[in-house]
Structure 1
Amino acid sequence: MSKHSGEHPRTGALDVCPFIPVQNVSMDDCVQCANAFGQRLAEMLHVPVYLYGEAARKETRRSLPSVRAGEYEALPDKLKHPDWSPDFGPAMFIPSWGATVTGARKFLIAYNVNLISTKEQAHRIALDIREQGRGKDQPGLLQKVQGMGWYLDESNIAQVSTNILDYELTPLHRV
């Protein structure tokens, strides 16, 4: 991990492991699975593990971007703060691993739109549409949608990358 770089936000070698209710499984079942998985991972590998989504123990950890804030590079300092003590495992930075986030959530639809434009234009579009918008005073247009804009050098295109967190509230055709 200490040599990894890239555009996509991440906290560790196993960045996120969500549990999603499919058939004959409840959200509560998935919360229990996330807790059992997080505890076992921390015990076996001695790594920090955070819970998010429906499994979050703190409101500030419900959204994945909130838990990922600062990403892998910020973990050494983040782990020193009591507010960011992991739900399982040591509050210790492990350069080869980072931290893992696990939780329970609904199905997520990842929807990416490629643009012949700049990273800045893609970023502005993402800020306009994502629920978080540009901050508290400027919310975005679409509820339960996360978004970011970036540039894909290997393809020579910009991309607006979205996660639709609740496709029933905000259907794909609206995004």
Structure 2
Amino acid sequence: MSVEFGQYLPNWLDLLVTAAGMVAASVAAVFAWRTFKEDRVRDARRAALGVSAAWATAHLDDEDREAWGVLVHNAASTAFHDVLITVLGNNHQRGAEPIAFKKLQPGRYFIESHGKTAQRAWGRQTVIAEHERVKLAESHAKKVQSLEFTDSLGTRWRSSTEGGLRSAPRRSQDA
């Protein structure tokens, strides 16, 4: 009994087509994964661009006076963690203490700047509704130097007057 090459040709062709299909599927999976990661980074950056802070004045509901402070706005649909805002212009006796949020939910928040004689440099966080008006006011004496925060993917972001928004090294837990 002799074995002819043509007898096994369909099996070899099936094997080659299957192998080529697996290679093509693997290449497609790699490209899909890269695209997914790029989209995820782009979406995270877009969300990070929605976080801002600026000196402002506002009329607080419980008081009939105009208060100076920092307006923090999270326009993204997600919360950010370990927010640290460094400012110039708070004339408190201890100097410019940073403003810190453990978790910054979407929304607008006003943090009043206390005067020299107050116990703390910053007051409580007041939620400012979208329809409430605040006046943004920055000068050489009063400005936000930097804004740092961590997104839900664990990326640390830093926005500053010098460098715009960029990813930053993670803060140590001791800081």
Tell me whether the two structures share a fold, i.e. TM-score over 0.5.
Answer: no
Tell me: higher relative CO, structure 1 or 2? Use CA pairs within 8 A at least 6 residues apart. 1
TM superposition score normalised by structure 1: 0.26
* Larger Rg over CA atoms: 2
